[in-house]
Amino acid sequence: MHIKARNIFKEFDDKVIVENISCDARSGHILGILGSEGGGKTTIMRMLMGIVQPTEGEISFDDLPPSKTIRDSIGYLPEDRGLRADETLYRTLAFQARLKNLSRKRAHVETIRLIDRFKLIDLMDQPVRELSQEVVEKLHLMCTVIHNPEILILDEPFRDVSEQNRSLLSKMLMRFREEGKTIVIASEELNEAERLCDEVVLLNDGRTVLQGAVATILERFQENLIVVEGHDNLQSLRNIQGIKKFSLSRQTAKMFVDKRIPPQKILEVITKLVNVRRIEVHQPNLNDIFLEIVRGKPQGE
């Protein structure tokens, strides 16, 4: 399934929440809608689901407008998640399967199959209120995939999730990608997204600040990043020859170095200028790149 969003714009009470966003989500790929809280990610996910309508712009699925049939083919994990505390694990899953138009018999079969796959058979008759937080996290994920959806739309899937379930979710997403499913993730966790996503849209205040294939973005911003912590005034490092971009937060300086200059030369100058408590050299990741762009210091030009 190919999802297209073209120039989608959304405002609430005359406040612009999403401004002219365009993106594509394709079969066998993971698209990340990334950025900090309040950037418009959840609004985009709700527009993809048809929960809210764009003020302007269009969203299509294989060039068709949204419909109930398409919505039934989506597995949606909302940002705000809740389950009925008095229902059992089994009944919760079976109910979700029925909501997605599975027959009663098939809903039963798929529910048992999924519970067994997650090794929760011994807990299937327990009420949700008696389940551990880790099991509840799994149950939310199970409710999302109970109907074997063609499309997955996951809003902050890694937020407040245990390390074990984080690993489980990552493995599932990679398998679903191999199966050709269309996957869209909204997340504040750029490092996790960098590892999983094929393409990303980075948002700030509802606007796209960077977009494209992850590999292409990392290649574009492949300068060495030197991070320095020290007790001295680090402003003197700003004027070192070969430093393309410089930022200072408290006693930590970040410097993007021209890739044509060996970082060792820069390190030698730094150690002569200031007393260093910690110094590191690495390639910028998506989070580094995003923070530099949001601070109004464009890179890669």
Residue-wise pLDDT for 82-101, tens only, equals 889 999 999 999 999 999 98
pLDDT of residue 32: 97
The CATH number that domain 3-218 falls under is 3.40.50.300
pLDDT of residue 263: 82
DSSP states along 100-160: TT--HHHHHHHHHHHHHHTT-GGGTTSBGGGS-HHHHHHHHHHHHHTT--SEEEEESTTTT
Residue-wise pLDDT for 113-156, tens only, equals 999 999 999 999 999 999 999 999 999 999 999 999 999 999 99
Rounded to the nearest 10 degrees, what angle do helices 104-117 and 89-99 cross at? Answer: 130
Hey, what amino acid is at 276?
A: V
Distance of alpha carbon 187 from alpha carbon 199, whole angstroms? 13
pTM of the model: 0.83
- Choose the CATH number for 223-282 among 3.30.70.100, 3.90.1150.10, 3.40.50.300, 3.40.630.10: 3.30.70.100
Domain range annotation of the chain? 3-218, 223-282
pLDDT of residue 296: 58
Going by DSSP bridges, is the β-strand pair 182-187/151-155 parallel, antiparallel, or unpaired?
Answer: parallel
**10-residue averages of pLDDT along the chain (301 residues):** 96 90 96 92 95 94 92 92 92 94 94 94 95 94 94 93 90 95 95 93 93 90 83 86 84 84 87 89 85 61 38
pLDDT of residue 301: 38
pLDDT of residue 297: 46
